[in-house]
Amino acid sequence: RKEVEQDPGPFNVPEGATVAFNCTYSNSASQSFFWYRQDCRKEPKLLMSVYSSGNEDGRFTAQLNRASQYISLLIRDSKLSDSATYLCVVTSFTGNQFYFGTGTSLTVIP
Amino acid sequence: EPEVTQTPSHQVTQMGQEVILRCVPISNHLYFYWYRQILGQKVEFLVSFYNNEISEKSEIFDDQFSVERPDGSNFTLKIRSTKLEDSAMYFCASKGETVNTGELFFGEGSRLTVL
């Protein structure tokens, strides 16, 4: 079983749309959770950490449901610059090993 | 802002040759990692390094691979005898000063092309 599974995508949405990505993880003892963004042929960059209480950063909202082992990312009012691959990342119990999902590709269309 | 730096940005080599990829992690970080990403595929874990030794490695990290932190700043990945399937982007990453928390910071990657 994969450590982290994500929606396969791709998602093609018009500017201004709201889009949601989902992710599930297999290890109930995982300590930390993140969404990373990866532009084509670039390194992954942290978008936001994900906390049990849910957290918001501008147009981005992340949610964690530990009981269901489920993580989500909501992007409101999509911009062209949001086009990228979004990676769900979950750590081990120790927090020192990071497991990546396959990524979900988003293209925002004018 | 502190960053992870990697060299070279792109290396082309012949099959069977040795390659060394270099990384300078963020200076006060404790954990260091190598990941690879074959074009169009997912980010794959290779190895993690803590306290001057390998803490975990994946199935990919076989005897052809080795890592070293020779001088307290550089963190290198060596591939002894490259194969065609080693062609990929190799990312170095480091994790913050607190041992059991924090996010990964990635370098810009070294693209390896094996001919």
Q: What is the pLDDT of residue B66?
A: 97
Closest of B7, B10, B46, B35 to residue B106, by C-alpha = B35
Q: What is the pLDDT of residues B14-68, one digit of tens each?
A: 999 999 999 999 988 889 999 999 998 999 999 999 988 999 999 999 999 999 9
Q: How far, in Å, CA of B52 to CA of B69, rounded?
A: 7
What ranges in B1-115 are assigned the alpha helix state H?
none
Let me know: does B31 contact A96? Beta carbons within 8 Å: yes
Nearest to B42 among A32, A95, A103 (CB): A103
Nearest to A44 among B48, B56, B106 (CB): B106
CA distance A68 to chain B (A): 22
Residues 90-109 of A with CB under 8 A from B: 94-103
Q: Rounded to 5 degrees, what are φ and ψ at B75?
A: -135, 115
Residues of A in contact with B43 (CB under 8 A): 38, 44, 87, 100, 103
**Which helix H or strand E contains A42, and what residues bound it?**
none
Q: Would you say the C-alpha torsion A62, A65, A68, A69 has a positive or negative sign?
A: positive
Both tokens of B85, joined, read 């399937």
Share of chain A above pLDDT 90, in %: 82
Closest of B63, B100, B105 to residue B80, by C-alpha = B63
Both tokens of B19, joined, read 């390659």
Residue A46 pLDDT more than 80? yes
Share of chain B above pLDDT 70, in %: 96
Q: Which residues, other chains included, contact B91 with Cβ-Cβ below 8 Å and sequence gap of 6+?
A: A43, A44, B6, B34, B35, B36, B37, B43, B106, B107, B109
Q: How far, in Å, CA of A14 to CA of A37, rounded?
A: 19
Q: What is the pLDDT of residue B96?
A: 79
